[in-house]
Amino acid sequence: MSARISAKTLRYLIVIGLIALWEGLPRAGLIPELFLPSLSSTLIAGWTDAGEYGHALAVTLYEVVVSMAFACGGGILLGAIVGSLPRPRILIMPMVSSLYAVPLVILYPVFTVWLGIGSESKIAFASIYGFLPTMLATAAGIQTIDPQLLLAARSMGATLSQRLVRVIIPAAIPTVLSGLRVGGALVIVGVVVSEMLISSAGIGYLISRYRTILDSPHVFAGVLLVLFLAIGFNAVIRWIEGKAAIWQTGTRTGQANDEIAVNAMQPAT
């Protein structure tokens, strides 16, 4: 018990220490303000242009939410099909696996040609970027369902749809959730990166623009905003995990399956 509390306290201390360093090092002149502006000047820069950052955040959030709907919805759907039916698996899996090894960001310029430099091209890129791991995780989750559970359900007279709703879906939830965690994080990456490349709005755009005029405090204000976005996303996923999958705790299906899912997301598979 005491070990756990001290670990938690230690984590807080580390975070506080980093914040202190962020403020202290530039102020003491140990790091030039151009490389790392102090936390306070970053916050002040963000605060004075709050309107601009607010608008950028709204654009980025919109793109992230829409992309997540596409990436996660499509990924879960196709992953379920690929995971449960052997024929589509043979057709699709090798393609998906090879595609996964391709740095998809090379497609982004093409998307801007097709869809313009507005939100549409970001959504298209981020959706595809987050779609693959979600799909692979869902497929892996469905494939790793213990066949004994399905046999038991059948022995109790479960129909095909009852097996799907009462066995396959609940059994796949932990792996699907860990797929959403990775897929969702990649959606955020995809949106911000594409905004930084070619764009006219969003946090990534602001970071990129302020960087070209060497305005470091404004760059870091954008970075901080992306950081909060990622932390917020993580908190949401944790909350869903807590709600939907109480049964993960302490079983083989918990931690172990997360690892399986993460492994399944490696390009080699």
Partner 1 sequence: MQPLANVTQLKPAARAGAIEVKNVGQVFKTRSQDVVALEDVSLEVKPGRFVVLVGPSGCGKSTLLMMMAGLRQQTAGTITISGAPILQPDPDRVGVVFQEASLFPWLTAEDNVEFPLALRGVPKAERRAKAQDALKLVGLDGFGRRHPHELSGGMKQRVSIARGLVQDPPVLLMDEPFAALDEQTRMTMGDELLRIWAATGKTVVFVTHSLTEAVYLADEVIVMSARPGRIVDHLQVQLPRPRTYEMLSGDAFGTLRDRIWRHIRKSA
Could you list the residues that contact partner 1 (CB under 8 A)?
146, 148-149, 151-158, 162, 166-167, 170-171, 173, 245-247, 249-251, 253
Helix axes 50-84, 39-48, angle to 10 degrees: 100
In the complex, the smallest distance separating the C-beta of residue 181 from partner 1, rounded to whole angstroms, is 19
Which residue, 103 or 147, has its beta carbon nearer to partner 1? 147
Q: Least distance (Å) from partner 1 to the CB of residue 76?
A: 18
Query: Minimum CB separation from partner 1 for residue 143, in Å?
Result: 17
**Of residues 239 and 247, the one with the C-beta less far from partner 1:** 247
CB of 161: closest distance to partner 1 in angstroms? 11
- Which two tokens mark 188? 């955020």
Pairwise CA distance, residues 194 & 200, whole Å: 11
Q: What share of the chain is helix, strand, coil (3-state, %, to 5)?
A: 85, 0, 15
Q: Using the minimum distance from each CB to partner 1, give the nearer residue, 57 or 137.
A: 137
Complex with partner 1: residue 74 or 170, whichever CB lies closer? 170
Q: Closer to partner 1 by CB, 148 or 212: give it.
A: 148
Q: At what angle do helices 119-143 and 86-101 cross, to 10 degrees?
A: 130
Are 93 and 114 contacting, i.e. CB atoms less than 8 angstroms apart? no
| 7/156 with CB nearer partner 1 | 156
- As given in the structure block, the two tokens for residue 38 are 């102090």
CB of 229 to partner 1, least distance (A): 31
User: Which residue, among 80, 114, 139, 172, has the nearest Cα to 263 in the 3D structure?
Assistant: 139
* Cα four-point dihedral sign 140, 141, 147, 153: negative
Minimum Å gap between C-beta 169 and partner 1 is 10
Q: Which amino acid is at 188?
A: I
State the burial class of residue 249 (Cβ atoms within 10 Å of its Cβ: 0-12, 13-18, 19+).
exposed
Q: Which residues 6+ apart lie within 8 Å of 113 measured at CB? A: none
* Residue 253 CB, nearest approach to partner 1 (Å): 6
Give whichever of 106 and 156 is closer to partner 1, judged by the CB atom: 156
